[in-house]
Amino acid sequence: LKESKRAVNSLRDIVDDDDDDLEKVSWSGEPVGSISWSIKETASSSASSLEGRDSSLQKGSSSYTAFPKQASSYSLSSLFKGRNRLPSFQSLSDALSDPGVKNYAPELRRPKAEYKDYSSDWSPKDTVRRMQRGKVCSLERFRSLQDKLVLLDEAVAGHDGNVITAVLIFLKRTLRKEILFRELEVRQVALCHLIHFLKETGEQKLLLDLLRFLDRTEEVALSQYREHLNIQDVEKRREFLKGCIGLPFSAEDTAHIQDHYTLLERQIIIEANDRHLETAGQSEIFRKYPRKASILNMPLVTTLFYSCFYHYTEAEGTFSSPSNLKKTFKIPDKQYVLTALAARAKLRAWNDVDALFTTKNWLGYTKKKAPIGFHRVVEILQRNNAPVQVLQDYVRLVEDVETRLNLATKYKCHDVVIDTYRDLKDRIQLAAYRCKVERGSAEEEKIDSILNNT
Amino acid sequence: QLPGKKDLFIEADLMSPLDRIANVSILKHEVDKLYKVENRPSTSTSDQFCFLVRPRIKTMKYIADIVNADKMAGRSRKYKIIFSPQKVSLAAFSYQLLPSVPNVTCDEWSFYLLPLDDDIISMELPEFFRDYFLEGDHRWINSVARALQLLNSLYGPFSKAYGIGRCAKMSYELWRDLEEESEGDSQGRKPEIGNIFLMDRDTDYVTALCSQVVYEGLVDDTFRIKCGSVDFGPEVTSSDKSIKVLLNSQDKVFSQIRNEHFSSVFGFLSQKSRNLQAQYDRRRGMDIKQMKNFVSQELKGLKQEHRLLSLHIGACESIMKKKTKQDFQEMIKTEHSLLEGFDIRESTSFIEEHIDRQVSPIESLRLMCLLSITENGLIPKDYRSLKTQYLQSYGPEHLLTFHNLKRIGLLTEQSPGETLTAVESKVSKLVTDRAAGKITDAFNSLARKSNFRGISKKLGLIPRVDGEYDLKMPRDMAYVFSGAYVPLSCKIIEQVLERKSWLGLEEVVRLLNGNEFSVTESAVEDSPAWESQRIILAVFLGGCTFSEIAALRFLGKEKGYKFIFLTTAITNSARMLEAMIETKA
């Protein structure tokens, strides 16, 4: 890939970049004259009339170029030789002017009469068929429950969802709720349509009544919980979530909702405190690493990362301390260690990293242990540009010899490579590795001494 | 046909498709200002508003708000609403939402088909997937039927129709119904497209969930191809510019690499750049006349090729960079294990770690879904623990996402006793599928069993490897997934076309939950033109991926078929899963 790139780049000076066949595009990369571009123009010019159209145009055309627009529409006719009639989708203008394709071209004004429901004797089946074909039909003449249900069943049998919904709207308006619900219970397809319609129109109360009638308690709960997405204000959102705890969720989900509430509650407290700390400018960590965003509404793991970053040393008693979060939300060890590691490594607090993995056994010996593979630890440390001295301690702990060698070679942890080959008694590889270390370095000396001693 | 000056409001989703077929000068006919639906015009003096929109409740509300606000302010205007692709029982919608004012009129713009390339037609209805498969709403079936009707009238009747899936069946039936009535011009026409194959997306979720590794698929996964074109950002163009590129068969570089496995793309690009260099080098030693010829005839083409080449090389570099960062290798390994059914424990802990490290919310979901479908649901212990960790890593509101995934059957929990399912399958064998459908509904909403393992065994989806799979010289469709897996959707199509029926596939069909059909048009049976018999219209309801397109193009080349794709939208794993996430109203 690199080679081809070089070759292509070397041609660049031959191919002087004349822009003559390039199209002008605006700041957003859309070709000037495209519909999306034009609309953005309207939006921006109506938003700020002071900033003239011209200035934004200039800005755009000077800094952006685009590829020449190739033929913008394809014709399927190219697939079949010998065809000369144009398919209707050739282009908007063709579609409008070519009389041959009138059938499927937009029929813009229809005869008035067609809109009128001049015959009211359509059978349920015909009514449905007419509606499927986009004609307006009055449904008012279906008066009895029996007639209405036949109509609904015909609509379902006709497979057109829009007709089904249209009939349902009519039934919803003309039938008692209880009756409608009862009849829908045995008509699953129609039921789906009504539920979807109510979701879309936001008729929450009726939707909940329906779900309750159907005994779908879990959906009742979820549907109410969903509302929180529309609440911007955090205090109101917290209050709302508090109310959700009592909803008929499964036991498992109730715990999740409870956690959601508790998390937001904590975040509100932490946010208030930290904003204060930050503006006061007293705290070193906030001065050195100003916050990029507020912690409100962030996931738990992000909150934990935040807390490991800004509040690592706090006692368990404070809400913002990592240990408090870990305990409150029963965060598994593995998750905790991963997050704390990432946060402390980002701050280059290598001592904290060491402490995270050091355990003492009952005799007082220390040992490094991790609930995640050490190769992961190495990867995270490396991504945060840990120095070789730190890195090699962890590379050494990678259990699988092959992975260890790979990582050690990749990150130039010479000592680990040399020791591993020594332990493997692999003279050939060791000798080969000798060329990869610096001349006259301690590593070279070490290799020599091993090779000479065995 | 709304004479006079007017403001035009266009729905966001219609803008990219419109850009492909028209430009502002066509649209701006007597149009004063263009607005995007969602942007409220602050002050407009226009006497007429025209709206070009999808038939959606949300949009109707938006329009109703504008009309009402005008009414309140005592302004009188004319309003015209043009629905695309069709006007749907508007009486129903407007009855509720629009105030009954006489100056609102409606129309439709029958824009069903957008040809994205020589062989790809898109309906540009990405919401089809969620509306039908999650909500069980049949609202787009009519549009599919109309699209088929349109193709039929252009290219004559299809002599043979195959299909699998409930939606496929309904679309087919509704289309036949429309067709019979219209007694259209297609009668007596020579058929040009011999076969049509309709397939529901839920027949095969696995393929759509796999990481794509053919070039076009990778470009889609990495940069998102929108309406056949892609925005290459500064990281690709190695300048401060973004470039919008149309990706199709007219791009001479792209057309040669789009279907290739990513690993063979590099070789091709370097070959190509060497050739290019050689062609430029010919300039040396040319006399004036030759030079003149060169400049007037070849230079432009070479320049164009040069630009394309450097763009695609840039794209490859950027893809490589992103994928190395994401442990792509390890992820692919996990995917392959899941497909084969090996090392499930190990894969589960890979997914767990993926979630814990907050690598990517969508990718985490994708892996979980793949695990669930290949294993026929997660064991309850794993389901609980993965779900909990997911909510902790990516936000508690994803509780709603999990609920949706369970409903659609992408991520399910094995029921503690499998007895229910045994009864279920026994019953469904005995009774007709209509009744079986009801019984299944009674057992478990819309979700269905995937039975992937059984299907995979029956159809031989995991190729036995003896030695290395040569990705440069693929021997089967599995090359689109590095030789590890033959896409199920494409395999089904292959099998049915080979047999010219579903005969012999009964067991597979049963595992796929039935709803298969195959119909021969009696009218055209007698003399099917040989030519047309090789052409197959593959219809994907709920979206199709570039990997599937590549696989079928390969099959076409091997067997002498020519596939044309009609899809409700181009999809990939990310689009499918994003459609499952709840957002604020």
| Same domain for A184 and A150 | yes
| Same domain for A321 and A239 | yes
Answer yes or no: is A374 within a domain: no
- Binary contact (A195, B135; C-beta < 8 A): yes
Which of B177, B244, B392 lies nearest to residue A301, judging by beta carbons? Answer: B392
Give how far Cα B229 sits from Cα of A11, A262, B486, Å. 26, 45, 28
**B38 and chain A: CB distance < 8 Å anywhere?**
no
Search chain B and give the residue with CA nearest A28.
B242
| Same domain for B124 and B103 | no
Rounded to the nearest 10 degrees, what angle do helices B488-499 and B452-459 cross at?
Answer: 50
Answer yes or no: is B510 within a domain: yes
Question: Which chain A residues in 44-63 lie under 8 Å from chain B, judged by CB atoms?
Answer: 46, 63
Predicted confidence at residue B200, as pLDDT, reads: 97
Q: What tens digit of pLDDT does each residue of A366-406 get? A: 788 888 889 989 989 998 989 988 998 999 999 899 999 98
Cα B203 to the center of its chain, rounded Å: 14
Overall average pLDDT of the A229-238 stretch: 95
Which of A34, A131, A166 lies nearest to residue B19, judging by beta carbons? Answer: A34
- Where among A331, A356, A373 does a domain terminate? A331
**B34 and chain A: CB distance < 8 Å anywhere?**
yes
Q: What tens digit of pLDDT does each residue of A31-45 get? A: 445 666 566 655 554
Handedness of CA A112, A115, A116, A119 (dihedral sign): positive
- Binary contact (A4, B399; C-beta < 8 A): no
pLDDT at A349 over 80: yes
**A357 and chain B: CB distance < 8 Å anywhere?**
no
Overall average pLDDT of the A427-432 stretch: 87
Predicted confidence at residue A272, as pLDDT, reads: 94
**B480 and chain A: CB distance < 8 Å anywhere?**
no
- Where among B48, B81, B110 does a domain terminate? B110
pLDDT at A21 over 60: no
How many residues does the structure list for chain B? Answer: 585
Q: Which residues, in sequence order, are CB contacts of B536 under 8 Å at separation 6+?
A: B193, B194, B195, B196, B197, B493, B497, B561, B562, B563, B564
The SS3 call for residue B1 is: coil
Distance between A416 CA and the closest CA of chain B, angstroms = 24
- Binary contact (B356, A92; C-beta < 8 A): no
The two beta strands, B229-232 and B243-246, are antiparallel
| Same domain for B331 and B319 | no
| Same domain for A311 and A247 | yes
The SS3 call for residue B499 is: helix
DSSP, res B295: I
Task: Count the domains in chain B.
Answer: 4
Overall average pLDDT of the A9-30 stretch: 50
User: Of the ranges A103-107, B101-105, B321-325, which is most confident?
Assistant: B321-325
Answer yes or no: is B251 within a domain: yes
Among A82-86, A292-296, B358-362, B428-432, which is the least confidently predicted range? A82-86
The two beta strands, B48-53 and B78-83, are parallel
Answer yes or no: is B465 within a domain: no
CA separation for the pair B532, B525 (Å, rounded): 12
Task: Count the domains in chain A.
Answer: 2
| Same domain for A207 and A150 | yes
CA separation for the pair B50, A186 (Å, rounded): 42
| Same domain for A196 and A146 | yes
pLDDT at A54 over 70: no
Between the CA atoms of B163, B166, B172 and B175, what dihedral angle is there, to the nearest 10 degrees? Answer: -160
**A363 and chain B: CB distance < 8 Å anywhere?**
no
| Same domain for A211 and A244 | no
Q: What percent of chain B is modeled with pLDDT above 70?
A: 88
pLDDT band at B73 (very low <50, low <70, confident <90, very high): confident
| Same domain for A247 and A191 | no
| Same domain for B480 and B551 | yes
Answer yes or no: is B585 within a domain: no
pLDDT at A194 over 70: yes
Q: What tens digit of pLDDT does each residue of A195-229 get? A: 999 998 889 999 999 999 999 999 999 999 999 99
Overall average pLDDT of the B373-400 stretch: 95
Q: Please list every residue in chain A whose beta carbon sits closer than 8 Å to the beta carbon of residue B23.
A: 33-35
CATH number, domain at B279? 3.90.830.10
CA separation for the pair B230, B546 (Å, rounded): 14
Which of A1, A29, A297 lies nearest to residue B266, judging by beta carbons? Answer: A1
Whole domain around residue B64: which residue ranges?
6-110
- Binary contact (B136, A228; C-beta < 8 A): no
Identify the residue among B23, B277, B561 best suited for mutation to test binding to A, counting A beta carbons within 10 A and taking the highest: B23
Give how far Cα A3 sits from Cα of B264, B273, B279, B323, B325, Å. 15, 9, 18, 20, 22
**A327 and chain B: CB distance < 8 Å anywhere?**
no
CA separation for the pair A85, B476 (Å, rounded): 38
Search chain A and give the residue with CA nearest B149.
A104
| Same domain for B70 and B23 | yes
Answer yes or no: is A137 within a domain: yes
Q: Which residues, in sequence order, are CB contacts of A381 under 8 Å at separation 6+?
A: A341, A345, A353, A390, A391, A394
| Same domain for A327 and A239 | yes
Please state whether A175 falls in left (phi above 0), alpha (psi between -120 and 50) or beta: beta
CA separation for the pair B208, A72 (Å, rounded): 28
- Where among A169, A187, A215 does a domain terminate? A215
pLDDT at A352 over 50: yes
Search chain A and give the residue with CA nearest B251.
A70
DSSP, res B308: H
CA separation for the pair A275, A255 (Å, rounded): 30
Size of interface A-B (CB pairs under 8 A): 315
- Binary contact (A253, B399; C-beta < 8 A): yes
| Same domain for B192 and B104 | no
CA separation for the pair A142, A144 (Å, rounded): 6
Q: Label residues B193-232 b or e (16+ Cβ within 10 Å = b).
A: bbbbbbbbbbbbbbbbbbbbbbbbbbbbbbbebebbbbbb
CA separation for the pair B375, B381 (Å, rounded): 14
Strand partners, B163: B198, B517
Answer yes or no: is A360 within a domain: no
The helix or strand, by DSSP H or E, that contains position B317, with its residue range, turns out to be: helix B299-325
pLDDT at A100 over 80: no
Which of B137, B280, B584 lies nearest to residue A192, judging by beta carbons? Answer: B137
| Same domain for A238 and A178 | no
Record the tokens describing residue A204, joined without a space.
Answer: 């929450």
Answer yes or no: is B427 within a domain: no
CA separation for the pair A379, A381 (Å, rounded): 5
Give how far Cα B341 sits from Cα of A362, B337, B456, B489, Å. 43, 6, 10, 19
Tell me if B316 sits within 8 A of B265, measured CB to CB: yes
- Binary contact (A263, B35; C-beta < 8 A): no
User: Of the ranges A294-308, B282-296, B468-482, B509-523, which is most confident?
Assistant: A294-308
B144 vs B435, residue with greater confidence: B144
Secondary structure of B268-279 as H, E, C letters: HHHHHHHHHHHH
Predicted confidence at residue B162, as pLDDT, reads: 97
Tokens 């570039």, residue located: B546
Question: Which chain A residues in 388-417 lie under 8 Å from chain B, judged by CB atoms?
Answer: none
Q: Label residues B394-424 b or e (16+ Cβ within 10 Å = b).
A: bbbbbbbbbbbbbbbbbbbbbeeeeeebeeb
Tokens 């007293």, residue located: A282
Record the pTM. 0.85
- Where among B55, B85, B110 does a domain terminate? B110
Predicted confidence at residue B88, as pLDDT, reads: 67
Strand partners, B106: B81
The SS3 call for residue B263 is: helix
Query: Is the preceding peptide bond at B380 cis, omega within 30 degrees of 0?
Result: no
Answer yes or no: is A170 within a domain: yes
**B442 and chain A: CB distance < 8 Å anywhere?**
no
Which of A7, A169, A376 lies nearest to residue B95, judging by beta carbons? Answer: A169
pLDDT at A60 over 90: no
Identify the residue among A3, A11, A115, A226 best suited for mutation to test binding to B, counting B beta carbons within 10 A and taking the highest: A11
Tokens 């509704």, residue located: B174
Record the tokens describing residue B450, joined without a space.
Answer: 């995937």
Question: Which chain A residues in 365-384 lie under 8 Å from chain B, judged by CB atoms?
Answer: 372, 376
Q: What tens digit of pLDDT does each residue of B303-322 get? A: 888 889 999 999 999 999 98
Q: Please list every residue in chain B whose beta carbon sits closer than 8 Å to the beta carbon of residue A226.
A: 400, 582
| Same domain for A258 and A318 | yes
Question: Which chain B residues in 129-188 lie under 8 Å from chain A, judged by CB atoms?
Answer: 131, 135-142, 150, 153-155, 170-171, 173-174, 177-178, 181, 185
The two beta strands, B6-10 and B48-53, are parallel
Predicted confidence at residue A77, as pLDDT, reads: 37
Distance between B207 CA and the closest CA of chain A, angstroms = 27
As for the ipTM of the complex, it is 0.89
Whole domain around residue A157: which residue ranges?
121-215
| Same domain for B561 and B484 | yes
- Binary contact (B16, A36; C-beta < 8 A): yes
The helix or strand, by DSSP H or E, that contains position B182, with its residue range, turns out to be: helix B166-182
| Same domain for A185 and A139 | yes
Overall average pLDDT of the B135-164 stretch: 92
Search chain A and give the residue with CA nearest B439.
A188
Vertex A331 angle, CA A223 and A373, to 5°: 125
- Where among A312, A331, A350 does a domain terminate? A331
Please state whether A98 falls in left (phi above 0), alpha (psi between -120 and 50) or beta: beta
Answer yes or no: is A151 within a domain: yes
| Same domain for B121 and B106 | no
pLDDT at B566 over 70: yes
Q: Please list every residue in chain B whose beta carbon sits closer than 8 Å to the beta carbon of residue A222.
A: 399-400, 403
- Binary contact (A229, B397; C-beta < 8 A): yes
Question: Which chain A residues in 90-149 lie under 8 Å from chain B, judged by CB atoms?
Answer: 91-93, 103-109, 129, 131-134, 136-137
| Same domain for B184 and B242 | no
Answer yes or no: is A185 within a domain: yes
Tell me if B111 sits within 8 A of B17, measured CB to CB: yes
| Same domain for A248 and A199 | no
Q: Please list every residue in chain A whose beta carbon sits closer than 8 Å to the beta carbon of residue B177.
A: 129, 158
| Same domain for B97 and B168 | no
Mean pLDDT rounded to a whole number for chain B = 86
Q: What tens digit of pLDDT does each residue of A119-145 get? A: 567 889 988 988 888 777 778 889 899
| Same domain for B338 and B296 | no
| Same domain for B105 and B13 | yes
| Same domain for B254 and B161 | no
Strand partners, B7: B33, B49
pLDDT at B419 over 60: no
Residue type, B244: K
Residue type, A451: L
CA separation for the pair A207, A198 (Å, rounded): 6
The helix or strand, by DSSP H or E, that contains position B245, with its residue range, turns out to be: strand B243-246
CA separation for the pair A88, B141 (Å, rounded): 21
CATH number, domain at B171? 3.40.50.1910
- Where among B288, B303, B324 does a domain terminate? B324
Secondary structure of chain A as H, E, C letters: CHHHHHHHHHCCCCCCCCCCCCEEECCCCCECCCHHHHHHHHHHHHHCCCCCHHHHHHHHHHHCEECCCCCCCCCHHHHCCCCCCCCCCCCHHHHHHCHHHCCCCCCCCCCHHHHCCCCCCCCHHHHHHHHHCCCCCCCCCCCCHHHHHHHHHHHHHCCCHHHHHHHHHHHHHHCCHHHHHHHHHCCHHHHHHHHHHHHHHCCHHHHHHHHHHCCCHHHHHHHHHHHHHHCCCHHHHHHHHHHHCCCCCCHHHHHHHHHHHHHHHHHHHHHHHHHHHHHHCCCHHHHHCCCCCCCCCCCHHHHHHHHHHHCCCCCCCCCCCHHHHHHHCCCCHHHHHHHHHHHHHHCCCHHHHHHHHEEECCCCCEEECCCCCHHHHHHHHHHCCCCHHHHHHHHCCCCCHHHHHHHHHHCCCHHHHHHHHHHHCCHHHHHHHHCCCCCCCHHHHHHHHHHHHC
The two beta strands, A358-360 and A366-368, are antiparallel
Overall average pLDDT of the A360-364 stretch: 75
pLDDT band at A56 (very low <50, low <70, confident <90, very high): very low
Q: What tens digit of pLDDT does each residue of B95-109 get? A: 555 555 567 787 888
